[in-house]
Structure 1
Amino acid sequence: MEDLAFDRSHIWHPYSSIAHPAPQHRIRRAEGIWLTLDDGRRMIDAMSSWWCAAFGHAPPSLVKALQDQAAQLPHVMFGGLTHQPAIDLSRRLTAVLPEGLDRIFYADSGSVAVEVAVKLAIQVQIARGHRRRTALATVRGGYHGDTWKAMSLCDPETGMHSHFGRAIAPQHFAARPPVPYGADWPEDPALNGLGEVEALLSRHDAEIAAFIIEPVVQGAGGMYFYHPAYLRGLRAICDRHAVLLIFDEIATGFSRTGAPFAADLAGVRPDIMCLGKALTGGMMSLAATIATRDLACEAGMLMHGPTFMANPLACAAAAAAMDLWQSADWSARARDIGAQLQRDLAPAAGLPSVAGLRVLGAIGVIEMKTPLPMDKVHRFCAETGVWLRPFGKLLYTMPPLTIRPDELTQVSAAMLAIARGL
């Protein structure tokens, strides 16, 4: 209790107030899908610890990779030096990414990977002689991270813009893609949202360097799934206006949507792709910004260089995670999880407190009509043995892809209990 009191007094947790700290559960051990609390109780990590522990916690092959690497080369600067873990990981990535995406810049986190992508896009436009093309476009409902430029690209109403006022650079926003995943696709641009994008890029043709979007799945901005055809139309519009297209696959990469990458659902290759989260299997932080060769050459010297860029420990863990990912059909497993979530969560659709239910791959979302009582939910999680962390009106799960059907049933039961009012 003394340690938790110290925590409450001195340690900031994500999106929390130090003056009014939220309750915390102290975790002693994480293994497989399970989190073990100090008192010995266990909870299923139904969040994959913010979506990164895709294969559960501490897979033996990833632990061994870290241990072996730590004994040999924990870290070395990447400026003027290189190392085998970075080379090995890059070989694995270029073999599975959409053809042509094969120039890789490693960063510390997903948010930084977005910053690098934006820097790259602007440098390319300036190198092409378009010195005014320094603005960015995106859609509402998105989330791209908490650093400054990434934050400016999050939804201006549900994001953090109001907390920082004019310090956040204004960007160009189109409406959220209006056609949900699984719905019929209308070809009329006035109905499918692409007419607004075309008009936006036409109005600001000389200003916009790139258009960034989370492909198919908008994550922390609202857990919304939209039609993949939107991305095909967006690709064509960006090409017409010489605007670079960036896919933020930080949350969706590595089979989460039921496809290797969300871009595969649309059959679209972006100019730049950002990866993170499950890249290391949740072992530690690492992200990547990947571009085509031509784009990388146009940019010239990319003006970014994190101290821990391509950290050998992180690269070794990521290479082992890639091997684990390629050892089985995890995309099929994600689709199986989705099918069970659709069945198990179906009763939620009829609850008077529920506004909607949606599932895609290994992502299940119950949208409530009013915000959930977070403190009450957190106590309930420890009591029932399922860790869920809703935000606002959204109660969702992104469980590890290793979860068994009976364990997934426990997750669904907990979600239904919360939706019913605990």
Structure 2
Amino acid sequence: MKKNNFIFDLQHIWHPYESMIKPLPCYMVTEASGIHLKLQSGIKIIDGMSSWWSNIHGYNNIELNNAMKKQINKMSHIMFGGITHNPAIKLCKKLINILPKKLECIFLCDSGSVSIEVAMKMAIQYWNISKNPKKKFLTIHNGYHGDTFLAMSICDPINSMHSIYEHILPKQLFAKQPKISYHEKWNNYDIHSFIKLIVKFKSQIAAVVIEPIVQGIGGMKFYHPEYLRQVRLLCNIHHIPLIIDEIATGFGRTGKMFAYQHANIVPDILCLGKALTGGMMTLSATVTSKKIASVISNSKPYRLMHGPTFMGNPLACIAASKNISILSNNNWKKKVKKIEKYLKKKLLILSNHPRIVEIRILGSIAVIECYNFINIKLMQNFFVNHGVWIRPFKKIIYLTPPYIIKYFHLKKIIIAITHAIKNNLLFLI
């Protein structure tokens, strides 16, 4: 029966970013607890990915579980059109308490990509009152903002996974990728490309969209906080809204509650997702100012034209509310700082290895960029056999572990990575 399930999965279930004909192998997970995934074979492996950045408190967290169990006995879902409920209100109150005062109008979405779509719709509708409505977006190369169509249009048009759709996507404006890294000395030349584009196309730009400090799947680069400060200043000068994509980095991942805080700025529109519910289920939010919300609401069609069926899902809202409570009450900053310190101590030793271009660490994110492309199938299997779950891509091995991880488990992950780096069979040479 178990074998039949594997065959069924292989023949009928399409996994993310995969082929239906020759997909990479899947590993059957039967349980998850703390930092461990239990495979069908009975082996437990350490999750170094937090289920794509989201599961920050570990699996089967008792506080999150209990909150959701209590809510599911009341109602798991109810439409949000013409109806409201306490879980949504409670969550939005908590969000407003941890966000800058300027950000006070919250649209609850159902995935990170949708949050970006809603933010871009907000920007377009904001300019509807103008005689010459603005419809273009300015961003930077090597960014990633999601897999839905408008979100794909602001992903890198050449180097992203969405380049095959480039000929049918709206044409956006792309400044050069920032080159000065987080810890390097700032030089104003890094912002020149962005300045040229925002000055030249300011009459067409509806908003600037950018990942704060950390460029995610576009290459896992960490850029200098001054770059983001300069972007904020330029948006202010030219009266262009700034959309911050905090979906991957939000809720402590970089050592700050939100990554834009590294630059001491405030966006006009903020997109949240992934760790919003502590990794329990899907939910996102697009948060904006009263000014932007009022302009949209006072111009035709006098409302924001978006409404996901599962918008404001009560079960997801109660998980997110409890997640924020956990973050407010525990010592997550200390935990993330300890993870960062240990990763720097143990991983940076590999920096001089001839296979490695660079090792980058910020908060509880570690990136090992290699010269050669990785054989994903073989390396994935190698990691599982060494008791860890790490999912590399292209030339990059990266870690985003749960905040509850212990030194012993991080040590095991780093040992596995060290052996993988030295294994020629795991790279495409």
Scaled to the shorter chain, the TM-score interval is over 0.9
- d(CA) in 2 for partners of 1:234, 1:225: 16
SS of 2:294's partner is helix
| 8 Å CA contact 1:46, 1:397 repeated in 2 | yes
- d(CA) in 2 for partners of 1:231, 1:163: 29
Residues 105-116 of structure 1 aligned to structure 2 (within 5 Å) = 105-116=107-118
For 1:199, the equivalent position in structure 2 comes to 196
For 1:254, the equivalent position in structure 2 comes to 251
- Structure 1: 4+ residue segments shifted above 2 A: none
For 1:385, the equivalent position in structure 2 comes to 387
Give the AA of the match of 1:226. Y
- d(CA) in 1 for partners of 2:252, 2:323: 13
Give the AA of the match of 2:173. H
For 2:139, the equivalent position in structure 1 comes to 138
For 1:229, the equivalent position in structure 2 comes to 226
For 1:215, the equivalent position in structure 2 comes to 212
SS of 2:286's partner is strand
Deviation at 1:408, TM superposition (A): 0.9
Give the AA of the match of 1:264. Q
Give the AA of the match of 2:198. L
The question of 1:153 aligning with 2:154 is answered: yes
Show CA shifts across 1:69-105 (max 9, x none): 1110111110110000000001110000122111100
Unaligned runs of 5+ in 1: none
Structure 1 residues 211, 286: CA separation in 2 closer, same or farther (over 3 Å shift)?
A: same
Show CA shifts across 1:87-143 (max 9, x none): 00011100001221111000010000000000001111123x153311101001110
- d(CA) in 2 for partners of 1:104, 1:385: 41
Show CA shifts across 1:169-196 (max 9, x none): 111000111210011112x3xx222x22
Show CA shifts across 1:233-265 (max 9, x none): 111101111211000000011110001110111
Q: Which moved more, 1:390-399 or 1:150-159?
A: 150-159
Deviation at 1:214, TM superposition (A): 0.4
Show CA shifts across 1:143-181 (max 9, x none): 000000101111112213431242111110001112100
Q: What CA RMSD, in Å, does the superposition of the two structures yield over aligned residues?
A: 1.1
Residues 83-122 of structure 1 aligned to structure 2 (within 5 Å) = 83-122=85-124
For 1:27, the equivalent position in structure 2 comes to 29
- d(CA) in 2 for partners of 1:302, 1:282: 28
| 8 Å CA contact 1:274, 1:289 repeated in 2 | yes
For 2:339, the equivalent position in structure 1 comes to 337
- d(CA) in 1 for partners of 2:336, 2:102: 26
| 8 Å CA contact 2:37, 2:47 repeated in 1 | yes
| 8 Å CA contact 2:28, 2:40 repeated in 1 | yes
Unaligned runs of 5+ in 2: 298-302
| 8 Å CA contact 1:86, 1:310 repeated in 2 | yes
Number of equivalent positions = 417
| 8 Å CA contact 1:43, 1:381 repeated in 2 | no
Show CA shifts across 1:291-342 (max 9, x none): 0111111111111000000000000111111111111231232122111111
Residues 168-187 of structure 1 aligned to structure 2 (within 5 Å) = 168-186=169-187
- d(CA) in 2 for partners of 1:329, 1:137: 37
Q: Which moved more, 1:32-41 or 1:339-348?
A: 339-348
- d(CA) in 1 for partners of 2:420, 2:156: 27
| 8 Å CA contact 2:157, 2:166 repeated in 1 | no
